[in-house]
Amino acid sequence: MINNLVQWATLLSPIISVIAIIVALHVARSSSKDAQKQIAAIRHLLDVFVAANNLDIVEAQRKYQQQLVELDKEIEDAQMEVDMVSPFIGGARIDHIIAAQEKAEQKAHLDQLLAKRREIEVNLSLIQDYVKKATR
């Protein structure tokens, strides 16, 4: 009787192992499908989020581009003022001092405009990077 039981156990052991492997594969496949559905749902939510924010981002991009155009005009005018040499400077030393102060103020104004331009360019670059990542 015990010998008979050992023989049955020996025969059934590989069969039970195969059944266990088949069940494990089935569970893994269904879990994988669930994970894929969850990933698809997350991607959909991200697309909705990006779409909702794209209008604000596009509007900000337009504003920065418009500021850049206006700033370029100001920079050009300021650069011309800095580069321009007045033909009326001459004579008294006070005129030279006043002209040097005016040039220093013009140069400082130009430097401020250039710094503002770099800041706007960085902001535009960040927006463009975001748009590239969002549209992948």
pLDDT in tens, 14-66: 777 778 888 887 777 777 777 788 878 887 777 666 666 667 777 888 899 99
Q: Is 84 left (phi over 0), alpha (psi -120 to 50) or beta?
A: beta
Q: Which helix (H) or strand (E) holds 96?
A: helix 93-134
Q: In sequence order, what are the residues at sequence separation of 6 or more whose Cβ sits closer than 8 angstroms to the Cβ of residue 60?
A: 123, 127
Encoded tokens for 117: 């331009």
Residue whose token pair is 């994988």: 32
- Distance, in Å, from the CA atom of 9 to the CA atom of 4, rounded to the nearest integer, reads 9
**Local structure of 130: helix, strand or coil:** helix
pLDDT in tens, 87-132: 655 566 777 777 788 888 989 999 999 999 999 999 889 888 877 7
- Distance, in Å, from the CA atom of 61 to the CA atom of 124, rounded to the nearest integer, reads 6
